[in-house]
């Protein structure tokens, strides 16, 4: 017996009992699902890092940190911000490059189509013109990248289509989105020689 028939039978029984007691039964119309797909059965968003633990561990249980070659530098902190909880604060000074990385612990990104995150920068010492994003797998031998621009002093949500990631020229491109190992935010010459950038709510979405 399907759910619709059971519901009708139940209402008939209850109605008979109420009527037998001299009462009346008011039945409100309801929407009966016509699809076998239940809410939430499709892919949901995957939060890689919301920084609300205020530590160097992301929501996937992966470590986060800085990479650079001296005299370049990048200092990461996890600081409280009103109405946001903790956010990542990245202060960089470069002649070549520096980067903020987070381990993805082999996550499968196949169900997801885009990377979304919030970003802002301090006007002083300067807002970066662009940041390079890198996704890595296969022990870092496969890397695809995208460039993000339009960063402002106020929070702005960026959305990057995973289909728009391109080869680097220094590593093989991603052969798949399974077994992903690392997401990296890299500051290079076009970022400017120094700056302070804040990140929050790094999420992969369907």
- Average pLDDT on 21-44 reads 40
What are the residue boundaries of the structural domains of the chain, listed by start?
A: 1-34, 46-205
**% the chain with pLDDT above 70:** 80
Q: What is the pTM of this model?
A: 0.79
Quick: pLDDT tens for 66-113: 999 999 999 999 999 999 999 999 999 999 999 999 999 999 999 999
Given 2.60.120.260, 3.10.450.50, 2.60.120.430, 2.60.40.3620, which CATH number is that of 46-205? 2.60.120.430
Residue 42 pLDDT: 65
The whole-angstrom separation of Cα 41 and Cα 56 is: 32
Contacts (Cβ under 8 Å, ≥6 apart) of 148: 119, 130, 131, 132, 133, 158, 160
Quick: pLDDT tens for 140-187: 999 999 999 999 999 999 999 999 999 999 999 999 999 999 999 999
């Amino acid at each position: 017996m399907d759910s619709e028939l059971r519901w009708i039978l139940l209402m008939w029984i209850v109605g008979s009992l109420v009527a037998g007691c001299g009462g009346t039964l008011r039945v409100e119309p309801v929407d009966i699902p016509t699809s076998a797909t239940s809410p939430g059965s499709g892919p949901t968003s995957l939060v890689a890092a919301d920084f609300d633990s205020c530590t160097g561990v992301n929501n996937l249980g992966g470590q986060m940190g800085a990479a650079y070659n001296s005299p370049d530098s990048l200092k990461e902190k996890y600081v409280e911000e009103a109405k946001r909880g903790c956010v990542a604060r990245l202060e960089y000074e470069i002649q070549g490059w520096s980067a903020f990385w987070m381990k993805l612990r082999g996550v499968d990104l196949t169900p997801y189509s885009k990377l979304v995150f919030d970003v802002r920068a301090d006007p002083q010492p300067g807002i970066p013109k662009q940041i390079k994003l890198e996704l890595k797998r296969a022990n870092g031998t496969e890397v695809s990248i995208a460039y993000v621009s339009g960063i402002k002093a106020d929070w702005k949500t960026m959305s990057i289509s995973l289909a728009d990631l391109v080869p680097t020229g220094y590593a093989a491109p991603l052969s798949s989105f399974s077994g992903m190992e690392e997401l990296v935010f890299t500051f290079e010459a076009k970022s400017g020689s120094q700056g302070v950038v804040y990140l929050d709510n790094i999420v992969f979405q369907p």
